[in-house]
Structure 1
Amino acid sequence: MREPAFWWGEGSFASALLAPLAALYGAVAQWRLGRGGERAGAPVVCVGNLTVGGAGKTPTALALARMLAAAGERPMFLTRGYGGALAGPLLVDPARHRAREVGDEPLLLARTAPTIVARDRVKGAGIAGDASVIVMDDGFHNPSLVKDFSVLVVDGRRGTGNGRVIPAGPLRAPLEAQLARAHALIVVGGLRRAADIAERARAANIPVLQARLRPDVDVIAWLRGRQVLAFAGIADPKKFFATLAEAGVVLAAARSFPDHHRYTRAEAVALCDDAQRAGLV
């Protein structure tokens, strides 16, 4: 699914037209946030997005898991497995599972720590017996599990867009209702359009941290100065392309696909052929 452009603008007629539906969606989302859940057998740290799409939630979850492991903890990821066919609960095996079965993000998470896919988060937590701490990559808006510590992530370049709730805007629930259940706010990539959100968080005594995405040093060293055909199937491909350009990679061509796009063989062949014909990496 591609995000509507009016979500990230101001004064849109389409957004105003959808405001009644947004009010209904927001009321239900706020009610869900207030519901009680079951407690897992280990502390739960939840990483969530204020908005739909790529704010940097998964990189944040990965960084947290690495920090916890370095501190002597045994972190285990718990995630829904968006885009995968298997409902779980199951422990992801990167050697056996494919993205079509468990989703693409769980395969990435499993490179760092054991990862459980479960649409039913309570059942998923039930098989995390070896974990000293559970890191939820998504699930902030799912009330089924009690969260001991919740971190909200926002992209400083995009902020909360027009500030409205789905479908009139990108917010997953009313902003104040989300902040009321957060223990920390992480702004990724500078404050630009997130300064107001940061101030509101500080006013509610919520710590505000700033972070930046840092690409792999070895990969960037190899790509720097080369002309490439870049492609991405993520919520905000412009951020990926900008990261490459800022690192000195020459973007001769760029292709955008929908978030969590499942590439076909024909698409993969076409990308390789286009790059080869143009002499691009």
Structure 2
Amino acid sequence: MSRQYDSRMQRLWYADGYYHWLLAPFSALFFVLSALRRALYRIGVLRSSRVAVPVIVVGNISVGGTGKTPVTIWLAKQLRSRGLSPGIASRGYGGVIGDTPAQVNANSDAEIVGDEPLLIARRAGCPVVVHPNRAAAARELIAMGVDIVICDDGLQHYKLQRDFEIAVLGGARGLGNGWVLPAGPLRETGSRLFSVDRVLVHLAQRSSAPPATVSLPIGKTNGFHLVGHELLSVDGQETRTFEQFAGKTVHAVAAIGNPERFFQSLERRGMNVVRHPFPDHAQFTSMELTFDDDLDIVMTEKDAVKCGQFATTRFWYVPVDVDMHDDEWVDAMVEKLLPHAKQEQQ
């Protein structure tokens, strides 16, 4: 997807206007086919697979930009802290996966396994396996000894049966214009939020309120925000504080679902931002990140994993962690999925 096309679609989905009506017939077709596909899985015409351990799906009903990857990392750490051995199955979007599931480690190539799985492998501290067939990836994880599988971005991957569904929603953009693809950003309609087990809303900060335009299920919705404490050089040689960048003009690079969210976070830290948005999962070349000045280049951690081969001392990234506003639901989830695990902790 080109940068110009991606920008036009973002404006169509999230800005006021009427041009999305031109795509209404295609959205109607998408809606019918998606509903039919889900129904065929539900009645067993299309076969789905159940694996030998519980499966937690983390996904979203919109196209990117919700904070799903940090949530997946956070959840894996939460499960590990409770004595479990999670593994993460991912499609490996943006990579080139062969016929068999591929294990991902900190030294894997993002062009092969995808940027998000590589980031997750570096941060989550648990096995990560990628394959378009998440059931195959899950079985590979089980063979490696995991006792619970997290399926990254698998909410619509009905081929793999699941025991707990988590939908991540961007609080700033909500559901956009409320239309399904291609007239809007939705993979499924907003009513899908009421059938999942937990909705996590990505807010700008702890005091922010969920979007008033989105109807959310009562009793199973929680907020979270992302916290960045410092900047790290992509070459791994240096760490700096945000205060050291305050007042400086920087090139900000983001190939994520919602680049503006990242740009605004830097501005809130006092930086003057020259924006360089790219389509989600874009693979960079050194020429694309070569600018006619000596300004520092600040990017997301997901983008940094793709720049190790050509990064200079001016390349920086911001690692972020999830601050979940209430995490008691994790204990309830674990007790539901693995009641013996709670007994072992006592």
**TM-score of the alignment, normalized to the shorter chain, above 0.5:** yes
- Which residue in 1 is equivalent to 2:332? none
- Which residue in 1 is equivalent to 2:202? 188
Query: Which AA in structure 1 matches 2:140?
Result: I
Query: Which AA in structure 1 matches 2:128?
Result: T
Question: 1:4-33 deviations in whole A, cap 9, x for unaligned?
Answer: 111012341x21111111111012222333
Flag the 1:81–1:277 CA change in 2: closer, same or farther, 3 A. Answer: closer
SS for the counterpart of 1:16 is helix
Q: TM-score under structure 2 normalisation?
A: 0.72
Flag the 1:44–1:225 CA change in 2: closer, same or farther, 3 A. Answer: same
Structure with higher RCO (Cα < 8 A, 6+ apart): 1
Question: Does 1:135 pair with 2:150?
Answer: yes
Distance in 2 separating the partners of 1:218 and 1:256: 19
- Which residue in 1 is equivalent to 2:243? 224
Q: Which runs of 5+ in 1 are unaligned?
A: none
- Which residue in 1 is equivalent to 2:72? 61
Query: Which AA in structure 2 matches 1:158?
Result: R
- Which residue in 1 is equivalent to 2:305? none
SS for the counterpart of 1:267 is coil
Question: Does 1:80 pair with 2:91?
Answer: yes
- Which residue in 2 is equivalent to 1:157? 172
Question: Does 1:233 pair with 2:255?
Answer: yes
Contact 2:266/2:273, CA 8 A, preserved across alignment: no
Distance in 2 separating the partners of 1:143 and 1:28: 14
What pairs up with 1:197-208 in 2 under 5 angstroms? 197=214, 199-202=215-218, 207-208=220-221
SS for the counterpart of 1:169 is coil
- Which residue in 2 is equivalent to 1:7? 13
Query: Which AA in structure 2 matches 1:250?
Result: M
Query: Which consecutive segments of 4 or more residues in structure 1 shift more than 6 A?
Result: none
Following superposition, the deviation at residue 249 of structure 1 comes to 3.9
Question: Does 1:70 pair with 2:81?
Answer: yes
Distance in 2 separating the partners of 1:224 and 1:50: 37
Question: Does 1:19 pair with 2:31?
Answer: no
CA RMSD in angstroms, aligned pairs only: 2.3
Question: 1:156-207 deviations in whole A, cap 9, x for unaligned?
Answer: 110001000000100111221x22431111111156672342x4422xxx61
What pairs up with 1:238-257 in 2 under 5 angstroms? 238-246=260-268, 248-257=269-278
Following superposition, the deviation at residue 150 of structure 1 comes to 0.5
User: Aligned pairs, how many?
Assistant: 270
Distance in 2 separating the partners of 1:232 and 1:275: 19
Contact 1:83/1:104, CA 8 A, preserved across alignment: yes
- Which residue in 2 is equivalent to 1:275? 294
Question: 1:220-277 deviations in whole A, cap 9, x for unaligned?
Answer: 962324212221111211101111222x241242211121111112123x14x53349
Flag the 1:42–1:155 CA change in 2: closer, same or farther, 3 A. Answer: same
Q: Which runs of 5+ in 2 are unaligned?
A: 43-47, 233-238, 298-313, 316-346
What is the aligned-residue identity percentage? 33
Distance in 2 separating the partners of 1:200 and 1:259: 26
Contact 1:225/1:250, CA 8 A, preserved across alignment: no
